[in-house]
Amino acid sequence: MIQNVKIVVAISLVVIFTIVQQIAARPKANAFQNSLDTITGCHIDSKLQDTCQRCAKQTKSNVVYPMCCSNEDDVFVWCQRYIGYGIH
């Protein structure tokens, strides 16, 4: 009887941890909901726009340009390093 309870508790904990990991791995609900607002940073600063366009072209990623313009997760800094890699 006690063995059955331990097995049920162990299985329940594994299921709960699995669900929690899946929830934590989901992206933000509104990641690009206001993408026009985030891109406006590039319309104000031409250096920012040039860097973000080059980065998006070189990486061939649709996500890079809006993230770079808003500097979400320091993508602008990453793009500067990515573009300048190997140039010294």
CA distance 68 to 21: 28
Band (34; pLDDT cuts 50, 70, 90): low
Residues 70-82 pLDDT 10s: 888 899 999 999 9
- Of the listed ranges 19-23, 27-31, 50-54, 66-70, the one predicted with least confidence: 27-31
Domain boundaries, given as residue ranges, for the chain: 2-26+34-84
Distances from the Cα of 71 to the Cα of 10, 11, 18, 27, 50, angstroms: 43, 42, 32, 17, 14
